[in-house]
Structure 1
């Protein structure tokens, strides 16, 4: 099978490019509009204005484009090839002696170019732009009382106390609502003389309807010539720090580069912390191009069969069905890896293998 570029490669590539880009623009555009409308509820908090909301949404576009590209790729590919199949152009190319595998390779080459651009953007432009978006929102809504360090989580100040949390997340409560859980928490209290008065370490700090609660607490208090330590399992923390502000300040793993994720994983393992959330996102980055190409190649056989007699609605439905099925399969294996604690590389390798196996069976059936 010869793989040197031919005129039909450019023709197929152009057809797929145009429909993928159109689908991509629609999906990202809808997401941007929904995100912008969702920011209206925060306008007026602090100095957060409609202009800040617009700037925040625009800075998040590269990340949204990266996220929606796999879905746009499979829907756009099916639509592009389906249009060629509906006008019998794929049949004409087959009559020239081109195999289904050769035509599929042309589609894969075209999508590889866009995938390479997305991988590069996902490691450079998207994290930088997302960081700028978060800075804009935090500085406008909560002023200068919040700061985010690259690997040290979030820092906040309340009076003479400085808080540092290594990680955290918001959890759903059984009766409704959410609570913020910060992990690997350190509280530095500064005395009137400018020296460190006490250092408190807590395994976690939870904010619910009753305020803040510190758990697994170890406190070192420093005097002129002495230091004392006390440990308690749990104690209330009388603080008026805004939980929403802290939640916004925590760097989410999905917004980090692969290099930053790797550094965070090593940091957490050195300190005996759970790094599986970071490992999940880290390995998903490595399998991103594999997933895109596997998903699109698995959908290609439909363009050689029933799509010739189907309309745009049928192609769109099958594209969405394929993308949704693959996403659910990947989510299932990812959750299984987290629950059973097996290697995320296996979890992310299984979905494309399954999809390619299905594609191979469809190819053989349609060739028969």
Structure 2
């Protein structure tokens, strides 16, 4: 499957792409760390916590930068080979431009596997750990996590929340009310809770009160939550759909469907996860088409600048078409695949013009 030329081209591209990826990830992490410094001092959130948070978020940033880094790295690697006349020698030996582009695409398989490993196993775990660390520090220890959900302590109440949706709505809320000597005096269970204006409301409530000789039960449709968590604390807990792995997204989609909730945002995140390996392949192919086409005789600096512009253009298109598909109620798969197809067609057209 990989002959000598494939391995040589692949090695040049992978080394260049890895170097660019690490450079961009470090730069973005530096900016993120500077931004986090503005949050230090809240609760017990210190500079060391901010540094650890940025480190734990690094896999998700690497994943986000993968397509752009592959494009710039491929332009750098193939451009360097062109500058050293290596591609000219290959073509003189009968290796076609399509064959060289195919070698670049084969190299993308290794990076695709790496992206899948990071996206499915490393990034979800590290991102969740980062959010937990940040939330616990900022809240001063009032919030904690377990397999049963989020737990919090507010005055004489212990609050357990099963799910926190991306819009800040809470699901499966249970409030354990304690007396001054920490004895359980009541339980309030609600199907959901949502912020309405300046206050929170609980919905579909069942309340149990433990009296000396009996247990009183009371049910109601809605009530104001008198002692909720601060909304700023809950905002730090909300994991974006893109940070979940594919099994996690599928489970959450099932949960949303069963409860009659909107699923489009998470469907889009799922399709982006599925399409991302293909995007890496397309970026490799596009880089090869540019090296043999418009960028055949330009300097290395011009190639890098063009790679940044192309990568940024892909990032903008990828971020734009998703929300557009949601606004116009289109199939989320279109929002995830159209940018990749557009850049794939651009690469194909350039290769046809110069083959």
Match of residue 44, structure 2, among 34, 42, 47: 47
Partner residue in 2 for 1:94: 91
Preserved contact between residue 19 and residue 80 of structure 1 (Cα < 8 Å): yes
Gaps in structure 2 of 5+ consecutive residues: none
Partner residue in 2 for 1:177: none
Partner residue in 1 for 2:206: 220
Give the direction of change, closer, same or farther, for the CA distance of 1:274–1:195 in structure 2 (3 Å limit). Answer: farther
Partner residue in 1 for 2:152: 156
Preserved contact between residue 115 and residue 289 of structure 1 (Cα < 8 Å): yes
Preserved contact between residue 45 and residue 137 of structure 2 (Cα < 8 Å): yes
Q: Deviations over 1:225-251 (max 9, x none)?
A: 65333334xx65433633222222233
Preserved contact between residue 9 and residue 104 of structure 2 (Cα < 8 Å): yes
Give the direction of change, closer, same or farther, for the CA distance of 1:183–1:47 in structure 2 (3 Å limit). Answer: closer
Match of residue 33, structure 2, among 31, 36, 60: 36
1:161 positional shift: 4.8
Q: Deviations over 1:152-187 (max 9, x none)?
A: 7644332225252633447xxxxxxxxxx4243635
Aligned-residue Cα RMSD (Å) equals 2.5
Secondary structure in 2 matching 1:342: coil
CA distance in 2, matches of 1:9, 1:281: 33
Partner residue in 1 for 2:285: 297
Aligned residues: 347
CA distance in 2, matches of 1:144, 1:15: 49
Match of residue 204, structure 1, among 169, 172, 194: 194
1:366 positional shift: 1.4
Give the direction of change, closer, same or farther, for the CA distance of 1:310–1:153 in structure 2 (3 Å limit). Answer: farther
Secondary structure in 1 matching 2:330: coil
Partner residue in 2 for 1:175: none
- Matching of residues 271-350 of structure 1 within 5 Å: 271-350=259-338
Gaps in structure 1 of 5+ consecutive residues: 171-180
Preserved contact between residue 293 and residue 351 of structure 2 (Cα < 8 Å): no
CA distance in 1, matches of 2:152, 2:268: 28
1:118 aligns with 2:115: yes
Q: Deviations over 1:105-124 (max 9, x none)?
A: 11111221122112112111
Secondary structure in 2 matching 1:214: strand
Structure 1 residue ranges (4+ consecutive) displaced by more than 6 angstroms after TM superposition: none
Partner residue in 2 for 1:13: 10
CA distance in 1, matches of 2:238, 2:31: 23
TM-score by length of 1: 0.85
Give the direction of change, closer, same or farther, for the CA distance of 1:264–1:168 in structure 2 (3 Å limit). Answer: closer
Secondary structure in 1 matching 2:295: helix
Partner residue in 2 for 1:255: 243
Preserved contact between residue 185 and residue 205 of structure 1 (Cα < 8 Å): no
Q: Deviations over 1:348-368 (max 9, x none)?
A: 23322222222222112112x
Give the direction of change, closer, same or farther, for the CA distance of 1:156–1:250 in structure 2 (3 Å limit). Answer: farther
Preserved contact between residue 185 and residue 204 of structure 1 (Cα < 8 Å): no
Q: Which of the pair has the greater relative contact order for Cα pairs under 8 Å at 6+ separation? A: 2
Secondary structure in 2 matching 1:124: helix
Preserved contact between residue 321 and residue 336 of structure 2 (Cα < 8 Å): yes
1:229 aligns with 2:223: no
Match of residue 347, structure 2, among 339, 342, 359: 359
